[in-house]
Chain A
């Protein structure tokens, strides 16, 4: 027993103390919010149609945005992982841009991009598609800020697939498209999937960009903000907790997926 007890240096103790502070900082507010919300309040708020509508809208729009953009983003990530070209670093930097710019600025940019006066907006309305103040516009705002998470994860996934497998498949007469579908995609699938979950989770929690593009129909982050502004902290809290629990569920699913990868 005496052997298994390690002596801690002063520095070890300092690190443990600081680590504890950081963890506490993350957990305490969330836990506090959770503890101050009774199951009754949660039940009550989940019975309100506007809350459920907003949650369904948020999940649905983020999910659609993720799927629609994946069709282009996943091949793009494959291209970034496999090809060397001039300006590749620049392109990789551009992909990360939405992460670093303020999200309200992203929202303003997106609104300018899709407003009825813009080329995109005009083209969309010619096709009978309204963007501003519509789910489609919300999807674009969500995608703008969450796309980097999918592209980065997928790119890393493709990069971890040995090129030899793809060359072996080409040598067996497969077309590059078939190689992508049957070799690269399945072998990078776990990372792409976690990228999809990350993009979806990030998209549904977006407030800044979405609130500028569409205050209505109301996604849950906007709803929570409005309730807080109109009725105060106590009123907004149960809705925030409900939405947080749903987001947490997806986060756990993501962790399980990435965890499973190590056992596969």
Chain B
């Protein structure tokens, strides 16, 4: 079990602050964040390439915060792979086997098994510069696996790979994980995170802002940043108020826009997600219904799933029309229209 406590490291203007998380044996732990969020630095601290200013790294209860790189049982696959350019593929992969192990049958068998599993057996006598990005990625993976790492550290392992090869590497990683390999995987791609992670930590500006299972993190994001990763464009953290007339709960999103929400036990600061497909537009004021408001059309643009309309209702709101057909009378950017939010399109939860 890996336990990271309050890890802090400054680097000029940038700093990682109070990073804490726990990775159990056999976990697939994904650290999700934009580039420059400090993900790679975090892996380098774990692997010992850099030392933290403060904080602790405990592996199975033992403090390894200042342990030498070569003594840590972590296999790091660098984002740029760092394949040794002067060595053959075979010598790269066998690097961690010492002379005796390399010649012994056990070492050779391990090398054979791993390269066969990764489908790179035929590349063993090639030079690294003759390999494609996907092949190099597998060589880098094989090289650390031969060393039997207790925890595999992956720095954007799919970033430099053609889309067509990504699925292959992903299923490879899943298979490794199924065989019991503990993995910490750093990425900026939420799809990658969802498809692989058992647990996710979202990192922003050097701090972990949310962690949990992908389900927890993505269905109930706690910040606009996570909401964007989770694919919720209409995410708000408004205050809960009571309707002065009816006493029903409502939230104020802007001067022009208040939204009635279903009766709730929530209080204080809440998170509100409005499904873009639950907002319908009308040229004339609809005769009845809750949550009807006026807004201006800022932009209309086509997307993979029909049309997307950006509304200005004092705050920006995204509307999706999956059938790519707008109601009659709504055609132009700049028009003022009526909008209505269907009750089941509003998700409200405590932060």
Question: Using a CB–CB distance below 8 Å, which chain A residues touch chain B?
Answer: 162, 164-165, 167-176, 182-183, 186-187
Is B95 close to A, CB under 8 A? yes
Residues of B within 8 A of A (CB): 47, 49, 68-70, 72, 74-76, 78, 80, 82, 84-86, 95-96, 143-144, 147
Contact B78 A172 (CB under 8 A): no
A-chain residues with CB within 8 Å of residue B69 when the two chains form the complex: 167, 170-171
Which of chain B's residues has its CB closest to A179's CB? B70
A175 to chain B, nearest CB (A): 6
Given A164-B78, A164-B80, is A171 in contact with B85 using a C-beta cutoff of 8 Å? no
Q: Are A173 and B96 in contact (CB under 8 A)?
A: yes
In angstroms, Cα B94 to Cα A173, docked, is: 12
Q: Can you show 25 pairs from A to B with CB atoms below 8 A apart?
A: A164-B82, A165-B82, A165-B84, A167-B47, A167-B69, A167-B82, A168-B84, A169-B84, A170-B69, A171-B69, A171-B72, A171-B75, A171-B76, A172-B75, A172-B95, A172-B96, A172-B143, A172-B147, A173-B147, A174-B95, A174-B96, A176-B70, A182-B95, A183-B84, A187-B86
Q: How far is the CA of A168 from the CA of B147 in the complex (A)?
A: 12
Interchain CB contact (< 8 A) of B78 among A168, A175, A176? A168
Excluding A167-B82, A168-B82, 13 further A-B contacts by CB distance (< 8 Å) are A164-B78, A164-B80, A165-B84, A167-B69, A168-B78, A169-B84, A171-B47, A171-B49, A171-B75, A171-B144, A172-B75, A174-B96, A187-B85
The smallest C-beta distance from B186 to any residue of chain A, in angstroms, reads: 15
A169 CA to B140 CA, complexed, in Å: 12
Residues of chain B within 8 A (CB-CB) of A168 are 76, 78, 82, 84
CA–CA, A175 to B68, complex, Å? 10
A214 to B95, CA, bound (A): 49
Q: Is the interface of A mostly helix, strand, loop or mixed?
A: helix
Contacting residues, chain B, for A167 (C-beta < 8 A): 47, 49, 69, 82
CA distance A14 to B130 in the complex (A): 48
Known pairs A187-B85, A187-B86; A171 contacts B80 (CB<8 A): no
Could you say which residues of chain A place their CB within 8 Å of the CB of B85?
A: 165, 187
Tell me, rounded to whole Å, the shortest Cβ–Cβ distance linking B164 to chain A: 27
A168 to B48, CA, bound (A): 11
Q: Which residues of A contact B70 (CB under 8 A)?
A: 170-171, 173-176
Which residues of chain A come closer than 8 Å to B147, judged between CB atoms? 172-173
Distance (whole angstroms) from the CB of B223 to the closest CB of chain A: 33
Identify the closest chain B residue to A189 (Cβ): B86
- Report Cα–Cα, A164/B82, bound state, in Å: 6
Residues of A within 8 A of B78 (CB): 164, 168
Give complex CA distance A234, B82 in Å: 60
In the bound complex, residues from chain A placing their C-beta under 8 Å from that of B95 are: 169, 172, 174, 182
Contacting residues, chain A, for B84 (C-beta < 8 A): 165, 168-169, 183
Bound-complex Cα distance A187 to B128 (A): 14
Residue of A nearest to B47 (CB): A171
Residues on B with C-beta less than 8 A from A175 are 70
Assembly CA distance A175 to B69 (angstroms): 9
- Expressed in whole angstroms, the Cα–Cα distance for A172 and B69 within the complex equals 9
User: CA separation between A165 and B49, bound complex, in Å?
Assistant: 12
Chain B: minimal CB distance from A189 (Å)? 8
Assembly CA distance A46 to B297 (angstroms) = 96
Q: State A172–B70 Cα separation when bound (angstroms).
A: 7
